């Protein structure tokens, strides 16, 4: 595809994507705004969303298109969400949405429209690195707002086609101030932090209404196999959870794991949640084609977790063993491990913790 300054921008109707539109236009890009219809009635797919996005584009003077991808969203994002809970994993649907929708289907649509670039309002950076002789993904300047964690599965060959206009800003108030200065009506629009297709936050009800998952009683046991109580369906729980088990015990108990075949929920005390080693699969390499020797990195095992020092080793079966300097809490199957070097450069990502090694 011949390089040009034509860019397809994902427009959610929020302040981040709206300011991204302003910045790209002011930087001389030929901007086309698009809103993807993904799930009717969700927090990011409703009449107000489409109107806000279109009105911003009209005000700025760029074209806006809406595309219906609800079927693909159900196939790639919602079904993965259901499958994870059906198999005792805790998913992050934003990661699947980024992979298949924003940087998958939307990128294909961009090529159809002769756009060299796709852009979103994520807080992250892409740039060419002379040191690594390739395009890289980096953390943004926004500290806790950085979203590089949820962008782990972008194919490395796509990085040169991606623009994150907000990557150099340090906080959300700067973005809102730009919107106010440009008289954008969405300047003070609140952020949506829920799972977009579960706006009421009741994921259990969603699963029961949209899948074959239904309450199925089983035993709550400790690691010795001693029965402590009853649960009403393994999909109601995630590793690290404390509340909602309905059992009394001299010390607080937390979910440690699951025995799917026996339909048992395994619980234990706080210190049992910590691990120093684990193994992961589903590799997406960004900086290197292969890790042929132990590599010192920092790792995040959840979006909200802090980076922890670790050494990683790629095994012959194309998995990664992770050796943490300090034990980390609640390593959870279905979540992603994101590795960084030099503080902010994403080395590569791995989804789906395969197993926890002995501490």
- Whether residues 145 and 219 fall in one domain: no
CATH number at residue 81: 3.40.50.620
Task: Verify that 35 and 160 share a domain, yes or no.
Answer: yes
Return d(Cα 9, Cα 102) in angstroms, integer: 10
Residue 244 lies in a domain: yes
Residues with catalytic roles: 97, 196
The packing angle between helices 79-86 and 203-210, to 10°, is 100
Residue range 82-132, pLDDT digits in tens: 999 999 999 999 999 999 999 999 999 999 999 999 999 999 999 999 998
Q: Judge if 20 and 117 occupy the same domain.
A: yes
Examine residue 208 and state whether it is found in any structural domain, yes or no.
no
204, 233, 268: which is the final residue of a domain? Answer: 268
Same domain flag for 304 and 255 = no
258 and 310 housed in the same domain: no
Residue 315 lies in a domain: yes
The verdict on residue 200 lying in a domain is no
pLDDT, position 356: 44
Question: So what's the pLDDT on residue 42?
Answer: 67
Structure tokens at 7: 């860019």
Whether residue 87 is contained in a domain is answered as yes
Q: What is the value of pTM for the model shown?
A: 0.91
- Listed as ranges, residues in the chain with pLDDT below 70 are 41-45, 348-359
DSSP at 358:
P
**Both 242 and 170 in a single domain?**
no
Same domain, 123 and 227: no
Q: Report the domain count for the chain.
A: 3
For 163-179, the pLDDT digits (tens) are 999 999 999 999 999 99
* Residue-range definition of the domain harbouring residue 16: 6-181
In 37-47, which positions are buried (b, 16+ CB within 10 angstroms) versus exposed (e)?
bbbeebbbbbe
Tell me what pLDDT residue 49 has.
83
Judgement on whether residues 76 and 166 belong to the same structural domain of the protein: yes
User: Measuring CA to CA, which residue among 120, 39, 128, 119 is closest to residue 76?
Assistant: 39
- Domain for residue 191, yes or no? no
Same domain, 86 and 234: no
Both 255 and 286 in one domain: the answer is: no
Same domain, residue pair 138 and 256: no
**159 contacts 101 by C-beta, under 8 angstroms:** no
User: Within this chain, do residues 89 and 177 fall inside the same structural domain, yes or no?
Assistant: yes
* Of the residues 132, 159, 181, the one at which a domain ends: 181
- State which of 228, 246, 268 marks the end of a domain: 268
pLDDT score for 349: 44
User: Tell me, what CATH number does 349's domain have?
Assistant: 2.40.30.10
- Residue 320, domain member (yes or no): yes
Q: Tell how strand 264-268 and strand 63-68 pair up.
A: unpaired
**Domain assignment of residue 18, yes or no:** yes
For residues 87 and 260, is the Cβ–Cβ distance under 8 A? yes
């Amino acid at each position: 595809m011949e390089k040009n300054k034509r860019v397809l921008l994902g427009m959610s109707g929020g302040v981040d994507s709206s300011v991204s539109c302003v910045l790209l236009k002011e930087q001389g890009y030929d901007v086309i705004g698009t809103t993807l219809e993904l799930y009717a009635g969700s927090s990011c797919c409703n009449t107000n969303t489409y109107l806000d996005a279109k009105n911003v584009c009209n005000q700025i003077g760029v074209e806006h298109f809406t595309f219906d991808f609800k079927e693909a969203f159900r196939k790639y994002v919602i079904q993965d969400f259901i499958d994870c809970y059906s198999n005792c994993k805790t998913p992050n649907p934003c990661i699947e949405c980024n992979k298949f929708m924003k940087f998958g289907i939307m990128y294909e649509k961009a090529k159809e429209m002769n756009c060299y670039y796709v852009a979103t309002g994520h807080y992250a950076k892409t740039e060419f690195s002379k040191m690594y002789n390739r395009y890289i993904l980096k953390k943004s300047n926004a500290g806790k707002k950085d979203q590089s964690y949820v962008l782990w599965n972008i194919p490395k060959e796509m990085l040169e086609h991606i623009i994150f206009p907000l990557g150099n800003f340090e906080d959300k108030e700067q973005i809102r101030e730009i919107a106010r200065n440009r008289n954008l009506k969405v300047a003070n629009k609140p952020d949506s932090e829920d799972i977009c297709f579960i706006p009421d936050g009741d994921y259990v009800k969603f699963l029961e209404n949209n899948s074959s998952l239904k309450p199925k009683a089983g035993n709550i046991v400790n690691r010795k196999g001693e029965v402590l109580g009853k649960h009403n369906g393994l999909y109601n729980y995630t590793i690290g959870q404390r509340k909602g088990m309905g059992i009394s015990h001299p010390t607080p108990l937390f979910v440690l794991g699951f025995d799917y075949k026996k339909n048992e929920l395994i619980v234990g005390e706080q210190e049992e949640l910590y691990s120093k080693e684990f193994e992961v699969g589903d590799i997406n390499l960004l900086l290197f084609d292969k890790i042929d020797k132990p590599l010192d990195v920092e790792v995040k095992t959840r979006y909200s977790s802090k980076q922890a020092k670790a050494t990683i080793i790629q095994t012959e079966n194309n998995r990664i063993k992770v050796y943490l300097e300090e034990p980390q809490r609640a390593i959870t199957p279905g979540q992603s491990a994101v590795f960084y070097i030099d503080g902010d450069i994403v080395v590569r990502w791995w989804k789906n913790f395969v197993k926890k090694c002995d501490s």
